[in-house]
Amino acid sequence: MILATTETIQGKELETLGLVKGSTIQTVNAIRDIGAGLKTLVGGELTKYNEMMNNARALATKRMVEEAEAMGADAIVCLRYSSSSIMQSAAEVMAYGTAVKFR
């Protein structure tokens, strides 16, 4: 599956199949959350939150690709990600784009 943030794929004619999306809500465990809270006192990167968000993006992308494959898509164009806080220490990540078939 080709994933592109652009509207087109060079050298390909595209037939639009429709919107596809994938999402997940992730959180870190309470002990890591307390550790991250302490980290805010001294500053620095919150590596456990980075890992959580990377895992969430990967899972959301996987779910979006599975939806596109079920439609018979060859690629997804206009790929975007969004995230939002659901509650303290929990975030939703959504991947979405337009499923297309090559002509």
User: Is residue 4 scored above 60 in pLDDT?
Assistant: yes
Query: At a CB cut-off of 8 Å and minimum separation 6, what does 60 contact?
Result: 22, 23, 24, 81, 93, 94, 95
Quote the tokens at residue 93.
């990540």
Judge whether residue 17 has pLDDT over 80: yes
Structure tokens that stand for 36 in this block: 């991250």
Q: What superfamily in CATH does domain 2-102 come from?
A: Hypothetical protein apc22750. Chain B (3.30.110.70)
pTM confidence score: 0.83
Judge whether residue 8 has pLDDT over 60.
yes
Number of residues assigned to the chain: 103
> Where are the chain's structural domains?
2-102
3-state secondary structure of 22: strand
